[in-house]
Amino acid sequence: MSTEVVNEIKEQEYFINMGPQHPSTHGVLRLLLSLDGEIIKNVEPHLGYIHRSIEKMCEKDTYKMIVHLTDRMDYLSCHMNNEAVCLAVEKGIELEVSDRVKVIRTIMSELTRLSSHQLWWGVMGMDLGAITSFLYGFRDREMIIDIFEETCGARLTMNYNVPGGVMFDIPNNFQKRVKEFIIYFKKKLPEYDDLLSNNVIFKARTEGVGILSKEDAISYGVTGPSGRASGFSCDIRKQHPYSAYDRVDFKEILYSEGDCFARYKARIDEMWESMFIIEQLIDNIPEGSARETTRAVIKLPKGEFYQKVETARGEFGVYIISDGKKSPYRLKFRSPGFSTLNALNTMAKGSKIADLVAIMSTIDLVIPDIDR
C-alpha cells in the first residue's frame, strides 16, 4: 500500500455499534460510537427499540388507568412515578389526602429508592467485572421486594398509589418488617464499601473518569444523584417538598467532582439518607383513612396540571392538559433518564471504550424510561 492510502486509513474515523443487544447497556439502547483507535470521539444514542407510545396511550385511558402505565417506564422507581401522576390528578380535583397517606407514600418511595440503588450497585459492579456485588445487591433488595409484595401484592410493577390515597392500607406487620430491614441493612451497607468503594481496581476505573461539569449538568438538565455529583443542587424533595418530605430532616448529598466515583458515592450516601428518612417516619404513621373516596371515573377540570417528584434517577414530571373529559387531552412525562442520556457525549468524549461502560453504569440508565 502506498503511504497515502495508509495515512488516509489512519485519519478515518471508524464506527462501532454498542447495542442494542449489549449486556452493559441494561436494555435495548444502541450507541453509535465513532472512534479513533480506542478513543471515543463521539457517542450518538439511537432510540426507539422499545417505544410503546405510553403518552399516546394515556390520551385514551382514564386517570386511574394512567397510573399503572407509569410502572412500565422507570420500573425501578415505579412507586414515585405512580405518586407523581396521583399528585397531579389530586391537584386537578383539589383533593387533599390524609396525613397517613402522605407518610405511607413517603416511606414507600424511600424504600423504592433504596431498592433501586441496591440494584444499581450490584449491576455497576458487574459492569466493571465484579459478579459478586450483583449477588449481594440482589440479596438485600429481596427484603424490600418482600415488603412490597406483602403490601402491594406485586414485586415490580406495584400500582400501589391511586388518586386519593393508596390501594390497600399497610398490613399489620409492615412497621416491624421495615424496622427489621433497616437494622439489617445498616449492617450490610458497610460491606458495600469494603467490596467495591475502597477496592483499588474499582477506584482506578472510576476516579477522574467521565467528568461532567456543573455548568454542563445544568444545561443538559442532568438531575438526581448524577446531577448532584456535579454540584448541581436539584433535589425536588428539598426544593419543592411533596407528600411528607417537609416534615423530615435529611441532607441533600452534593459532590463537586462530577466524575464516576462522585456519582457512585452520591448514591451510596443517598441510601444512608433514605434509611434516615424512613426511621423518622416509621414509628409515627398517623391514623386516618388510607384512601379518600373519589368518583369511579375521575374528570379533571379544564386546565394544565404539573407535578414533579424525585425518583431514584432524578426529576420526574407529569404534565397534564385536560379539556374536562375523563382522559387527558395531552400528557407529557419528563423523564430523568432522557436528559441524562443527552449528556453522555460530553462525559464520554476523549475517554476509552472501557470507560464508557463505567460512565453508563454510573448515570444509571433505565431504558424504558428514556424510550417510552
Partner 1 sequence: MIKSIIKYIKEVLGGLKSLLKGMRVTGYYISHPKEIITQQYPENKDTLKMFDRFRGEVILLHDENNEHRCTGCTACEVACPNGSIEIISERVLNPETGKKKKEIDKFIYHLSMCTMCNLCIESCPTDAIKMGRNFEHAVFDRSLLTSVLNRPGSKLAPGVED
Decide: is 195 part of the binding site for partner 1 (CB under 8 A).
Answer: yes
Whose cell is 477522574? That residue is 208
Could you say whether residue 44 binds partner 1 (CB under 8 A)? no
Site for partner 1, residues 113 to 132, rule: CB under 8 A: 132
Residue 199, interface with partner 1 (CB under 8 A)? Answer: yes
Q: Does 198 bind partner 1 (CB under 8 A)?
A: yes
Nearer to partner 1 (CB atom), residue 91 or residue 326: 326
23 contacts partner 1 (rule: CB under 8 A):
no
CA torsion 65-68-73-74 (nearest 10°) is 150
Of 59 and 279, nearer to partner 1 (C-beta) is: 59
Asked if residue 249 binds partner 1 (CB under 8 A), the reply is: no
- 88 scored as a contact of partner 1 (CB under 8 A): no
Identify which range of 199-207, 247-255, 304-312, 348-356 contacts partner 1 by CB under 8 A.
199-207
Distance set, CA 310 to CA 38, 82, 166, 243 (Å): 37, 12, 19, 11
Nearer of residues 28 and 145 to partner 1, judged by Cβ: 145
Answer yes or no whether residue 64 interacts with partner 1 by CB under 8 A. yes
Size of the site for partner 1 (CB under 8 A): 29
If one counts every other C-beta atom within 10 angstroms of the C-beta of residue 280, the result is 16
Per the DSSP assignment, residues forming a β-bridge with 161 are 166
> What is the Cα Rg of the chain in Å?
22
Site string for partner 1, 262-301 (x = CB under 8 A): ----------------------------------x-----
Q: Near partner 1 by CB under 8 A, which window of 196-204, 221-229, 230-238, 277-285? A: 196-204
Q: Which of 196, 266, 282, 348 is the binder for partner 1 (CB under 8 A)?
A: 196
Binding site for partner 1 (CB under 8 A): 61, 64-65, 68-69, 132, 139, 142, 149-154, 157, 159, 167-168, 171, 191, 194-196, 198-201, 203, 296
